[in-house]
Amino acid sequence: MTTAADTRTAESLIRDLSALRATCCPACAVAVQPRESLMSIAMGFKDAPRCFPCLAAALTGDASALGSQVLDYIHRHDCFHEAWQWACREEGVPDTEVPGCSSGTNSAVSAADSASSVPQAQCIAPAASGGAADARWDAGDMSCGDLVLELRLRLQALAPGTMLHLTALDPGAPEDIPAWCRLTGNALHRAKHPEYWIRRKG
């Protein structure tokens, strides 16, 4: 059921997508399409949206698997789903397709066709001894795209292998944080809402 908050967030996302129309990918200089901008926002790249192939290269290196996972994430969040449908209408493509790339040109890849190639989760079972955190961040009730944007920036500022202790009160965090970790390759070492221990990849 779509709430008023979801509707407001979707409207904000659509405004962001409209504002990002003239954006070029910082990695390859190709024009970033609305669907790619939304996928970038979902993965915490709102400040520098990438074309989908470059987004995949920055995160997992597997465009087909990442596309399937991000599309699943988008469809499970009403605010993102509404913005996704808007983006698909703008591009004139079905809402079941994710952007793809072949020799530097955008193409469409069906998420359903790539479901079988989704990599195993990067999240691991909680360690009995927990794990000391190298850094801490209290995100309060920050939600949706803002949380993953800030989380990506904070992890990026840490050394590879560093453990971040995150406190996130958002009720969607128990689902969103593990999903984001799987998509980005960072390891969710331990989770007991509202606390999450995330080890930076690398």
pLDDT digits (tens, 9 = 90+) for 81-123: 999 999 999 999 998 887 864 333 333 343 333 333 333 333 3
Pairing of strands 135-140, 163-168: parallel
Q: How far apart are the C-alpha atoms of 60 and 23, rounded to whole Å?
A: 23
Treating both helix axes as pointing N-terminal to C-terminal, what angle do 63-75 and 34-42 enclose, rounded to 10 degrees? 80
Domain 135-199, CATH:
3.30.110.40
- Give me the residue spans of the domains in the chain: 4-117, 135-199
Residue type, 173: A
pLDDT digits (tens, 9 = 90+) for 188-198: 999 999 999 99
Cα distances from 65 to residues 27, 51, 149, 150, 172, in angstroms, run: 21, 16, 21, 24, 23
Which residues make beta-bridge pairs with 187?
199
Q: pTM for the whole thing?
A: 0.69
- Of 12-16, 38-42, 114-118, 194-198, where does mean pLDDT reach its minimum? 114-118
